[in-house]
């Protein structure tokens, strides 16, 4: 273990020196920036060394003690990573927010610790904001804005947003200002993170974390360019123009640059704030229905998906008709998905809803993880394998007991889940974040069973699959099957809305040991392969 710690420390020191030389030529950093780079690199290196040491101590324990102390280990590790991310800011906050959005994919200790970064990200100082405005617009802040509220509307990993009034037009706007140091530190941060991932892969080959480094590397440059965000918002607004209750702030392109975004000011209540939604008499069930419809439209109809779906980016107001209006913010990251992916993802969902294990395995094979299709189904649905194989339409909504059992067992499956995340298409990773948002809202807002996201998503899956299949093999049988399923979903929704479900009964393979669950999986494989 001592040699491991020395090797890790040496690797980070060498990478810091190489990174400094490389950054000097590529990103225009000067030797004056090197002390800050060294400090940030040192924080990352020391955190990794401490975690490795702690995990090494854990592996020395007996199996019983290991299982008993694992929650405490996760709690300590989550706090160390959180402290490091907050100290380094910028890119590290973005990665931390990504971790905080991976509910049902990571132990609850990490989710609870990192999800606070969506609301409590470190803030830029007044001097830093003034410097960015001056650099981007060529004028002092007071020359452009008559009023400026220094208490930010929200602070995120890469930027923060302020309410202001334009001097030229008197219009009230929201101004998104990139943190001053993010742009020139992001590339070095990514290089160091990738080094950390490689070192962890050597020490713990069972944990596949390359997907996290690749996803961040691919997405960060797009998120740093606010002109790209303005373009995404314009495209999304055009694609979704037929949804009257969806509001996307318009950008004032005259004032927009790569680090400054001036947009229409559209306030609202955060979608997860049940108390305020109730105070404003906004229907939480209808809210979840509409958020589900919004994301289903993106995934299944347009193939252009908003990929930062945390509650802080989804606001709710009460419309003139008394129903919820949704305000969608932060359009820096979108993913365009192919029709093949839409079809395979639709097949996956329809199979889970029906409990059709043969189709479920076929869809998982198309997503590159056929051999682990039960675990993929559990990750996508947020339900136990027992619930999925019965068919989600035939099971109760997830109970508190089932949710607690799933969370308690997640740490046992982290290596297998990381294997799945390493092999599924990159679009799937971003779609999983959307699933987590929808499931989290259903739980947080306490929605009735009839608004469960899988019910509404099944309608979009059905239409999407029918549209593709009728091009390949049009027939009256296909049409009648489509109509039959459409009406079945309609009557099922009516049934849910007039029937009170409840109870704590959970028949779940999570009651058993890991070996028992593997036996259950083997049985599933035997049935579906026959």
Strand partners, 163: 174
Which helix (DSSP H) or strand (DSSP E) does residue 166 occupy? strand 159-166
Q: Are 347 and 472 in contact (CB under 8 A)?
A: no
Strand partners, 177: 160, 260
Q: Are 438 and 453 in contact (CB under 8 A)?
A: yes
Distance CA 371, CA 375 (A): 9
Q: Are 102 and 310 in contact (CB under 8 A)?
A: no
Q: Directed axis angle between helix 373-381 and helix 426-445, to 10°?
A: 50
Active centre residues (catalytic): 308
Distance CA 151, CA 153 (A): 7
Beta-strand relationship, 324-328 and 246-247: parallel
Distance CA 208, CA 162 (A): 39
Distance CA 190, CA 199 (A): 14
C-alpha distances in angstroms, 268 versus 277, 281, 447?
Answer: 10, 13, 20
- Residue 27 phi, psi (nearest 5): -115, 5
Beta-strand relationship, 159-166 and 324-328: unpaired
Q: Are 368 and 330 in contact (CB under 8 A)?
A: no
Beta-strand relationship, 154-155 and 159-166: antiparallel
Identify the three-state secondary structure at position 174: strand
The number of CA neighbours under 13 Å toward the Cβ of 446 is 6
Distance CA 206, CA 221 (A): 30
223: nearest Cα among 334, 122, 128, 130: 334
366: nearest Cα among 454, 280, 428, 290: 428
Distance CA 43, CA 10 (A): 14
The angle formed by the CA atoms of residues 413, 99 and 411, to the nearest 5 degrees, is: 20
Identify the three-state secondary structure at position 42: helix
Return the structure tokens found at 236.
Answer: 């999304």
Return the structure tokens found at 409.
Answer: 């067992």
C-alpha distances in angstroms, 230 versus 128, 175, 299, 369, 508?
Answer: 23, 12, 20, 36, 46
């Amino acid at each position: 273990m001592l040699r491991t710690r020395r090797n890790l420390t040496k690797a980070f020191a060498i990478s810091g020196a190489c990174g400094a030389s490389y950054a000097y030529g590529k990103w225009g950093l000067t030797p004056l920036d090197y002390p800050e780079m060294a400090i940030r690199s040192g924080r990352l290196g020391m955190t990794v060394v401490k975690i490795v040491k702690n995990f090494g101590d854990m592996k020395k324990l007996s199996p019983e003690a290991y299982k008993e102390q694992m929650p405490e280990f996760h709690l300590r590790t989550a706090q160390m990573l959180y402290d490091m991310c907050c100290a380094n800011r910028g890119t590290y906050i973005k990665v931390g927010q990504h971790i905080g959005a991976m509910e049902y994919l990571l132990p609850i200790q990490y989710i609870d610790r990192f999800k606070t970064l969506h609301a409590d990200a470190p803030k830029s100082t007044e001097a830093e904001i003034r410097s960015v405005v001056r650099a981007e617009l060529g004028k002092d802040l007071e020359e452009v804005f008559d009023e400026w509220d220094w208490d930010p509307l929200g602070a995120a990993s890469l930027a923060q947003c302020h309410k202001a009034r334009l001097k030229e037009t008197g219009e009230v706007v929201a101004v998104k200002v990139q943190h001053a140091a993010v742009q020139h530190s992001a590339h070095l941060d990514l290089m160091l993170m990738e080094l950390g991932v490689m070192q962890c892969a050597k020490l713990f080959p069972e944990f596949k974390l390359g997907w996290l480094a690749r996803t961040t590397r691919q997405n960060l440059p797009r998120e740093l360019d606010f002109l790209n965000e303005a373009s995404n918002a314009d495209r999304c607004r055009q694609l979704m123009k037929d949804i009257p209750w969806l509001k996307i702030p318009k950008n004032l392109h005259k004032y927009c640059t790569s680090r400054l975004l001036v947009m229409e000011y559209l306030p609202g209540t955060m979608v997860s704030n049940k108390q305020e939604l109730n105070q404003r008499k906004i229907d939480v069930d209808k809210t979840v229905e509409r958020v589900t419809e919004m994301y289903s439209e993106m995934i299944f109809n347009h193939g252009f998906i908003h990929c930062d779906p945390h509650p802080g980016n989804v606001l709710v107001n009460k419309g003139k008709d008394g129903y919820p209006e949704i305000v969608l913010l932060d359009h820096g990251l979108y993913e365009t998905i192919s029709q093949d992916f839409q079809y395979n993802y639709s097949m996956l969902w329809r199979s889970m809803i029906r409990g059709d294990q043969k189709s479920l395995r076929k869809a998982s094979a198309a997503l590159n993880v056929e051999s682990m299709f039960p675990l993929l189904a559990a990750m996508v649905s947020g339900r136990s394998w027992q619930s999925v194989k019965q068919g989600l339409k035939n099971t109760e909504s997830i109970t508190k007991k089932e949710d607690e059992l799933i969370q308690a067992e997640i740490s046992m499956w982290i290596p297998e889940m990381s294997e799945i995340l390493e092999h599924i298409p990159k679009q799937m990773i971003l779609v999983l974040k959307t699933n987590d948002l929808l499931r989290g809202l259903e739980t947080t807002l306490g929605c009735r069973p009839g608004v469960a996201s899988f019910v509404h998503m099944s309608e979009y899956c059905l239409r999407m699959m029918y549209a593709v299949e009728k091009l390949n093999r049009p027939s009256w049988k296909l049409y009648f099957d489509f109509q039959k399923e459409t009406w079945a979903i309609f009557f099922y929704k009516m049934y849910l809305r007039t029937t009170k479900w409840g109870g704590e009964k959970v028949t779940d393979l999570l009651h058993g040991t890991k070996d028992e669950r593997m036996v259950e999986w083997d049985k599933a494989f035997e049935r579906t392969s026959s």
